[in-house]
Amino acid sequence: MTFARGVGQFYPVESPLHALDPRAKVVATALFVVGLFFVDSAAGFLAAGAVTAALVAASRVPLGAFLGLLRPVLFIVALTFVFQVLFLREGPTLLAWGFIEVHEEGLRLGLVLAARILILVTAAGLLTATTAPVALADGMEDLLSPLKRLRFPAHEVAMMMTIALRFIPTLGEEAEKISRAQAARGADFEGGGLLKRARALVPLLIPLTVGAFRRADELAEAMESRGYRGGVGRVRYRELRFRARDAAALLLTALAVGVAALL
Partner 1 sequence: MADPTSISCEHLTFSYPGAAELALSDVSLKIPPGQYVGVVGPNGGGKSTLVRLLNGLLTADSGRVQVAGLDPATEPFEVRRLVGVLFQNPDNGLVAPFVEDDVAFGLENLGVERAEMRERVREAIASVGLAGYERREPHTLSGGEKQRVALAGLLAVRPEVLLLDEPTAMLDAAGREEVLSRVRDLAGSRTVLHVTHHLQELFDADRVLVLNGGRLAADTTPLELFSDAELLRENRLVLPTVPKLAADLGLPFCRTPEELAAAVARRSRDGVQAR
Site residues for partner 1 per CB under 8 A: 12, 132-134, 162-163, 165-166, 169-170, 173, 214-215, 218-219, 221-229, 233-239
How does DSSP assign 120-143, residue by residue? HHHHHHHHHHHS-HHHHHHHHHHH
Provide the minimum distance between the beta carbon of 228 and partner 1 in the complex, in angstroms, as a whole number.
Answer: 5
Distance CA 69, CA 123 (A): 11
Choice between 97 and 213, CB closer to partner 1: 213
Provide the minimum distance between the beta carbon of 84 and partner 1 in the complex, in angstroms, as a whole number.
Answer: 40
Choice between 40 and 176, CB closer to partner 1: 176
Cα distances (Å, whole numbers) of residue 119 to 7, 8, 84, 142, 156:
15, 14, 18, 27, 31
Choice between 51 and 65, CB closer to partner 1: 65
Choice between 67 and 223, CB closer to partner 1: 223
Residue 159 · residue 137 · CB < 8 Å: yes
Provide the minimum distance between the beta carbon of 37 and partner 1 in the complex, in angstroms, as a whole number.
Answer: 32
For residue 127, give the nearest of 119, 136, 118, 115 by alpha carbon.
Answer: 136
Choice between 156 and 221, CB closer to partner 1: 221
Provide the minimum distance between the beta carbon of 168 and partner 1 in the complex, in angstroms, as a whole number.
Answer: 9
Provide the minimum distance between the beta carbon of 14 and partner 1 in the complex, in angstroms, as a whole number.
Answer: 12
For residue 157, give the nearest of 182, 176, 138, 174 by alpha carbon.
Answer: 138
For residue 38, give every residue at least 6 positions away whose Cβ sits within 8 Å of its Cβ, in sequence order, or none: 261
Choice between 42 and 216, CB closer to partner 1: 216
Cα distances (Å, whole numbers) of residue 118 to 12, 35, 48, 243, 254:
23, 14, 11, 30, 19
Provide the minimum distance between the beta carbon of 115 and partner 1 in the complex, in angstroms, as a whole number.
Answer: 34
Q: What region, left, alpha or beta, does residue 98 occupy, with left being phi > 0 and alpha being psi -120 to 50 degrees?
A: left
Q: Beta strands of the chain (E only): which ranges?
A: 93-97, 100-103
Distance CA 70, CA 80 (A): 15
Choice between 138 and 246, CB closer to partner 1: 138
Provide the minimum distance between the beta carbon of 167 and partner 1 in the complex, in angstroms, as a whole number.
Answer: 9
